[in-house]
Amino acid sequence: MNYRLIPERLKPIAEKIEAGQRISEAEAVDLYRSNDLNALGIMANVVRERKNGNYATFIHNRYINYSNICVLSCQFCAFAAKKRDAHAFEHAVGEIVNVVAEALRLGVTEVHMVGGLHPTLKKEWYMDLVSQLRALDPDLHIKAFTAIEIRHLAQRIFKMPIRDTLETLRDVGLGSITGGGAEIFDPVVRDTICRGKETAAEWLDVHRTWHQMGGRSTCTMLYGHIETLEQRVDHLRQLRELQDETAGFTGFIPFAFEPQTTILSHIKPASAFEQLRNLAVSRIYLDNIDHLTAYWVSLGLPLCQVSLSYGVDDLHGTIIEEKIFHMAGATTPQQQSIAALEHAIREAGREPVQRDSYYRHLAPRAPVERTAGAELACA
């Protein structure tokens, strides 16, 4: 590490990072308070390189939102609807299966599927959905349902304990649960931005249970609304502690809040500076989570490319159709081509590698697929 580029005040933290030592919550807050973005990037880069060398990954995936009908009304959410609302939607199992079959023809390795907490869909509907997707392709990874959806299914639909619900879904094909719904764990923040949602302990418990069953999942943080820096660090602390216990998180994906069309629209969206700072501090603090993903849907691909020098080693995926952030006002495209992701990574001096749902590297694809339909978004 080039210590001449690190301000005096942060040098003791930089020395810890270089020695592979864990930083404290107070030190993480100090880093969040620093405006020396380049110094944060240098420190985060040490952790990134130690864990991932020169590789930067992406996944070829397809997002599906089966329905936005939800019994809750989280204040930050522009996606959810009540059945009577004009923008409410609910796809039939057959429709979803057809869309995924089409995506499989494009070569996706994962379907990522979440929805609202639907009040009336039955257990059979969910079982049918997952098992029909599994029947399409035994190798397709089905990553589905946030921790709160799992709790909703367990308590109101399946009427089973969490573990039995997860086992039942796994038996018909569920590969991973998603990391969404974590927001910020602090109870006062939760009560303001998502009253009625599961608590931090409940979110963590679903993931703990899944990890104890041998499953893996990602974890997230929705930041840039009303939380303080201390509350952000407290959120990271709880993720780091669960990871110490289970080692079940494969990657961390922070999301910047998109306020535009929500009832919190008076809040200023997180700046590019803040998003890079958040990624860098997360990379340094979460020393036990191997991968850090930049979500191009909220950062945009050019800033994701820059984030590869601020601790990031993964640019998420092709996604193909993102709805949740776009309904909240995101102006980024709804999909990325593999060529655009690879190009962005290569331009940043990293080696692009397609990964699977566990961030494992996949064998290189044939050149004919590599260039088909290429659209360079980051030239």
Is residue 14 part of the contact set for ligand SF4 (CB under 6 A)?
Answer: no
Is residue 63 part of the contact set for ligand SF4 (CB under 6 A)?
Answer: no
Phi, psi of 371 (to 5 degrees): -105, -10
d(C-alpha 264, C-alpha 87), whole Å: 19
Phi, psi of 93 (to 5 degrees): -55, -45
Task: Tell me how far, at minimum, the Cβ of 205 lies from ligand SF4, in Å.
Answer: 17
Among 74, 103, 111, 301, binds ligand SF4 (CB under 6 A): 74
Nearer of residues 141 and 152 to ligand SF4, judged by Cβ = 152
Among 32, 58, 63, 79, binds ligand SF4 (CB under 6 A): 79
d(C-alpha 226, C-alpha 268), whole Å: 10
Task: Tell me how far, at minimum, the Cβ of 206 lies from ligand SF4, in Å.
Answer: 14
Is residue 203 part of the contact set for ligand SF4 (CB under 6 A)?
Answer: no
List the x/- string, 80-99, binding to ligand SF4 by CB under 6 A: x-------------------
In terms of phi and psi (left: phi > 0; alpha: psi -120 to 50; beta: otherwise), the region of 347 is alpha
Is residue 194 part of the contact set for ligand SF4 (CB under 6 A)?
Answer: yes
> Which parts of 246-305 interact with ligand SF4 (CB under 6 A)?
none
**Contacts of 128 by beta carbon, 8 Å cutoff, 6+ apart:** 93
Is residue 113 part of the contact set for ligand SF4 (CB under 6 A)?
Answer: no
On the 0-12 / 13-18 / 19+ scale of CB atoms within 10 A, 297 is buried
Nearer of residues 117 and 280 to ligand SF4, judged by Cβ = 117
Helix 162-172, helix 123-136: angle, nearest 10 = 40
Among 14, 77, 284, 304, binds ligand SF4 (CB under 6 A): 77
**Contacts of 266 by beta carbon, 8 Å cutoff, 6+ apart:** 259
Is residue 116 part of the contact set for ligand SF4 (CB under 6 A)?
Answer: yes
Q: How many residues bind ligand SF4 (CB under 6 A)?
A: 12
d(C-alpha 367, C-alpha 324), whole Å: 33
Task: Return the range that interacts with ligand SF4 (CB under 6 A); candidates 49-57, 74-82, 120-128, 292-300.
Answer: 74-82
Is residue 177 part of the contact set for ligand SF4 (CB under 6 A)?
Answer: no
Choose among 140, 139, 157, 138: nearest CA to 148.
157
Which pair of structure tokens corresponds to residue 306?
């820059």
List the x/- string, 119-158, binding to ligand SF4 by CB under 6 A: -----------------------------x----------
Is residue 59 part of the contact set for ligand SF4 (CB under 6 A)?
Answer: no
d(C-alpha 198, C-alpha 96), whole Å: 27
d(C-alpha 88, C-alpha 153), whole Å: 20
Binding interface with ligand SF4 (CB under 6 A): 70, 72-74, 77, 79-80, 116-117, 148, 194, 197
